[in-house]
Chains A and B, each alone.
Chain A
Amino acid sequence: MIIDDNTVDKIASLSKLQFEGESKQKIKSGMNKMLEFIDKLNELDTAEVEPLIYMTNEVNVLREDVAVNSTSQEEALQNAPKKDSDYFRIPKVLK
């Protein structure tokens, strides 16, 4: 068991998620099962191996930096859960 209640709280806080009661026990057990599963990777010797980071062989794909209006303000606000004529609205930050 690597993941205890404190770890769940810490990772949940980083993930901006919340787990309480039953859902906390469930996520803890789910994560521990997954960790047990991925611990298999410790069997391989990776000392001399470089991490593979980029899956594409393309280097420096360049194009002209031409300004275009691809999204209007109205479109950008279209899906906002709350907005006024010009801005996204969120609950008060300072009280």
Chain B
Amino acid sequence: MKDYRSLKAVQEDLTSGATSCVRLVEQYLQKISANEDLNAFLEVFSQSALEKAAQVDLKIAAGNAGKLAGAVIGLKDNICYKNHQVSASSGILANYKSIYSATVTDRILNEDAIIIGRLNCDEFAMGSSNENSAYGNVLNAQNKECVPGGSSGGSAVAVQAGLCLASFGSDTGGSIRQPASFCGIVGLKPTYGRVSRHGLIAYASSFDQIGPLTNNVEDAALLLEVIAGADDFDTTASQKPAEKYSKNLSVTAPKKIAYIKQCIENEGIDPEIKNSMEEFIARLRNQGHVVEPVDFPYLDYLVPTYYVLTTAEASSNLARYDGVHYGNRSKNATDVESTYVLSRTEGFGEEVQRRIMLGTFVLSAGYYDAYYSRAQKIRRILRDKTRAILNDYEIIITPTCPTTAFKIGEKVDDPITMYLQDIYTVQANLTGVPAISLPLGTHSNGMPFGLQLMTSEFQEGLLLAFANSISEN
């Protein structure tokens, strides 16, 4: 099939009659089946996708199709779609069928997107390499010995390999941006509260945001425009109206940009990524932007703060999996207590159990103040400092990750090194600001790496317009 890399290209062919939605879905289904070894899709929704495609073809013919007509989209396996299975890549939800749709799902369907299937991820979105899925690793399509990143690994590879036009992931500490960087695509984490979390299987509720993974900034802007905005089912979703991001993607005036010294001078950063960042900074200056180094003395505190707070929230959120109302119940359960304990012990993977245990510990009597409360205080310090930088500068740039995609199995025995994958991305989740990863270059090892941009809260308009101007130059 033709390898579509933008919704515009799809819609041109739909308008000219060169293809139809049904034909597109059939071709994507074939391509997904030919690339099964990547393990990106846990399930394809052939029947509902073809039905929807036929409906959209009729609407196109009638001239009343929605904004996303022709967009064939995959959902991370933690975003609910009514009457379809969703498992968060966990054994405990192996046979769970969603009884309602996420707000994001409803909104894209209302604009005539076609949902083609659910995408593999780390179990309950906990991981940076997609090696924590109960349903096997996802392979990076650029080099099948490498991880795709995580936790939205399947969402990134599906777009990278052209198995769908775009996908949705969730980002709690970098889970959209890091895999986007590892797979050479665009990944956007919106401001906390920009997008409703209703129907997203919760990991850490004060961090989680749903966002798009796409081939280009324009598609990301359009998808955000469709999913953003207030929602009766999530009061943490902001009442601020969503903007027409896709209509305002040009930047004319020079920008004031900061780069964090500690991110570039970090000893863990790959020298080629560092060089590429320095060249990029020089290029921005040549284009007339003001680019200055700023001090962010808290880099080494970001990931530890993130782990205290997210494990605490996860331990609470995952208490709902008790083997009673839904999810798997242990066959060995003999009473109520063993229903809980055995169902959870058999149903959750190792990393999920480790995080529940640490989270329970930091919330337990005698340790709450020393760990949980202290981390909440440090979160304020981090947010205030980030806000102070963004008062002086419009945009912060960093690499998305210190390295390119690593080999499968390389870091599984060392959780701490794995956690440090998120060193540049967690800042946005800890402080609530929006961030995007864009392809910056290709390493001599053949793998892509990304550039990250951050702006103040709810400045997605500026973030996307500037990202688009960079991508075009």
Contacts and interface: CB of A to CB of B under 8 A. Distances in A.
Interface of A: 3, 7-8, 10-12, 14-19, 26-27, 30-31, 33-35, 37-44, 46, 49-58, 61, 63, 70-71, 75-76, 78-82, 88, 90-93
Interface of B: 95-97, 99-100, 192-193, 206-207, 230, 232, 235-236, 238-239, 298, 300-301, 303-305, 307-308, 315, 319, 322-329, 333-336, 338-342, 344-345, 348, 350, 353-354, 356-358, 360-362, 364, 371, 373-381, 383, 415-416, 419, 432
A41 B305 contact: yes
A55 B60 CA distance: 41
A31 B336 contact: no
A43 B327 CA distance: 42
B210 to A, nearest CB: 15
B380 A31 contact: no
A88 B324 contact: yes
B336 A75 contact: no
Contact of B99 (A30, A39, A75, A90): A75
A38 B325 contact: no
Contacts of B344: 15-17
Contacts of B298: 44
B380 A58 contact: no
Nearest to B328: A81
Contact of B356 (A15, A44, A63): A15
Contacts of B356: 15, 17
A92 B358 CA distance: 32
Contacts of B303: 37
B364 A79 contact: no
A79 B324 contact: no
Contacts of A27: 353-354, 357
B353 A17 contact: yes
A49 B382 CA distance: 11
Given A17-B357, A93-B336, A46 B378 contact: yes
Given A79-B96, A91-B339, A58 B239 contact: yes
Centre residue among A3, A31, A51, A76 by max chain B CB count within 10 A: A51
Contacts of B348: 17
Contacts of A38: 304, 307-308, 362, 371, 375
Centre residue among B95, B342, B378 by max chain A CB count within 10 A: B378
A26 B353 CA distance: 11
B232 A63 contact: yes
A52 B239 contact: no
B415 A34 contact: yes
Given A53-B376, A76-B99, A92-B335, A31 B361 contact: yes
